[in-house]
Amino acid sequence: MDSERTLTITEQLAIIGPMEVRVSQRPVDPLTYQLGASVTIARHWDLLIEAGTNFDDAKMLVLSASYRF
């Protein structure tokens, strides 16, 4: 994932005036491994699970149940 970005925050300080802070963000390890599955358990019901990590600074878990009418 290429998710590098720079945040710019401007605060108005009483004595100093406007103060600008820039923060650069990027993942420590940009490669994330994911594994998932989807299964239909009945005519109207589907289940989904997805998990991922880069074994460093990113973790995710997605659980979903869907009803189709």
Is the pLDDT confidence value at 53 over 70? yes
Neighbours of 43 (CB within 10 A): 6
Is the pLDDT confidence value at 34 over 80? yes
Is the pLDDT confidence value at 4 over 80? yes
Q: Token pair for residue 64?
A: 């979903």
Arithmetic mean of pLDDT, 28-49: 92
Is the pLDDT confidence value at 3 over 80? no
Full-model pTM? 0.57
Is the pLDDT confidence value at 11 over 60? yes
Residue type for position 35 = L
